[in-house]
Amino acid sequence: MNTTLIQTANRIHSVNEYYFSTKLAEIRKMNANGLSIINLGIGNPDLAPSANTIKELLATANEPANHGYQSYTGIPELRNAFSDWYKEFYKVELNAENEILPLLGSKEGIMHISLAFLNPGDEVLVPDPGYPAYKAVAALCEAKAIEYDLKESDNWCPDFNQLEKMDLTNVKMMWVNYPNMPTGKAASEKLFEQLIAFGKKHRILIVNDNPYSLISTVKPLSILSVEGAKEIAIELNSLSKSHNMAGWRVGMIGAASHFIQAILKVKSNMDSGMFKPIQLAAAEALKNSKEWYTTQLQVYSERKEIAKKIMDTLHCEFNFESTGMFVWAKIPKDATSSQEFSEDILQNKEVFITPGFIFGKNGERFIRLSLANNNEILNEALSRIKS
């Protein structure tokens, strides 16, 4: 059969398969051949959602009326819950009627926002190091990704003096991600104020991807808390990491109503709403007590202590005050590269730790370890690496 009769679209030639897609396939093959690889590379929460969340899902899934198509804008119960959550934890007022858009996970929001605002040829500022999807989605939208540096010497914050020297004529949008992945840099009010001022000055839409703000931090921040932020900023958030609901696919966009309406034009042509029991359960999750969040914080703190021992054994340096569910550590000076350093650990210790190069050139001398593994697994990884 001739498989070349139909050519693929040009846009997919500009992106590669997601790194973890190919690496996980390699690890599965190694395990099938008799190995037992410990995967410390993926931020896939191993904990369960709160008991009240699961109880709500089970109860509402038994209702026949809950199995039909749902609204593209999400049910009122979920939008109201997101609104109350933002008010309580972020001190931000979001109108549940027109300033919140529930999503099938925040990752799809990256595509929706990009399709809603980018024309072919527009330029998008993306962080280096940063989440690879920002750059990939820009390419799929036939826009041009322009990398801006995040450096250890600048405490993983944008250098606004350097940004001002760039040709920003065609820049339409800027992706930011605080608390930052992969570096763990926490957000600050000053940084968000600088970003909003920069966006307004150059008429650049600032989009903050904010799924890690309730992990390893006692003071979550939203870019929308800055005065006048809604004029120029959009925020993505997610229950995947903060509420242990990665597979449930529940996220949201918070923004001014005119931004929401533009994004909805894209979203309503791409899905048919979210399963109602999942929405009702997510609304219940957003009512979790502060004690529940405190327990999660304690769990990740204990895991970070073990991760520190792993990094000490590997002679890697990291900032223990970093936030989020990852440890971002600098590899030894005598190591050739993050890729070879990671591969050596995988092949010789049967432990996978993500090499930093996949997040950009500024990640080349770093590795990223996921805290989404229990103490037993982390201690076993430590034991293997020590051996």
* Domain ranges, ordered by start, for the chain: 10-48+290-386, 64-285
Backbone angles phi, psi at 240, to 5 degrees: -55, -55
Residues 6+ apart with CB under 8 A from 59: none
- Homologous superfamily (CATH) of 10-48+290-386 is Aspartate Aminotransferase, domain 1 (3.90.1150.10)
- List, as one string, the DSSP characters of 208-256: EE-SSTTSS-SS---GGGSTTGGGTEEEEEESTTTTT-GGG--EEEE--
Between CA 86 and CA 20 the distance in angstroms is: 32
Domain 64-285 CATH class label: alpha beta
3-class SS at 173?
strand
Over range 360-364, report the average pLDDT.
96
pTM: 0.93
Token pair for residue 314? 């590997």
Angle at 289 between CA 288 and CA 294, to 5 degrees: 105
Q: Higher confidence at residue 306 or residue 3?
A: 306
Over range 292-312, report the average pLDDT.
94
Query: pLDDT grade, residue 18 (50/70/90)?
Result: low
Between CA 156 and CA 183 the distance in angstroms is: 7
Over range 187-214, report the average pLDDT.
96
Q: Higher confidence at residue 41 or residue 260?
A: 260
On average, the pLDDT of the chain sits at 93
> Which range is most confident: 42-51, 232-241, 266-275?
232-241
330-361 exposure pattern, b = at least 16 Cβ within 10 A, e = fewer: bbeeebeebeebbeebbeebbbbbbbbbbbbe
Between CA 19 and CA 17 the distance in angstroms is: 6
pLDDT at 302 over 70: yes
Residues 6+ apart with CB under 8 A from 85: 286
Between CA 57 and CA 282 the distance in angstroms is: 9
CB atoms near residue 163 (< 10 Å):
18
Residue 109's H or E segment, with its range, is: helix 106-117
pLDDT at 260 over 80: yes
Residues 6+ apart with CB under 8 A from 241: 43, 45, 211, 212, 215, 325
Beta-ladder partners of 352: 39
Backbone angles phi, psi at 105, to 5 degrees: 85, 145
Residues 6+ apart with CB under 8 A from 211: 106, 236, 237, 238, 240, 241, 242, 251
pLDDT of residue 324: 86
pLDDT tens digits, one per residue of 78-118: 999 999 999 999 999 999 999 999 999 899 999 999 999 99
On the question of a cis peptide bond just before residue 179, with omega within 30 degrees of 0, the verdict is: yes
Query: pLDDT grade, residue 17 (50/70/90)?
Result: low
> Which range is most confident: 12-16, 105-109, 233-237, 294-298?
233-237
Between CA 184 and CA 267 the distance in angstroms is: 30
pLDDT at 21 over 80: no
Query: pLDDT grade, residue 24 (50/70/90)?
Result: confident
Backbone angles phi, psi at 344, to 5 degrees: -65, -40
Q: Work out whether strand 144-149 and strand 123-128 pair parallel, antiparallel, or are unpaired.
A: parallel
pLDDT at 1 over 60: no
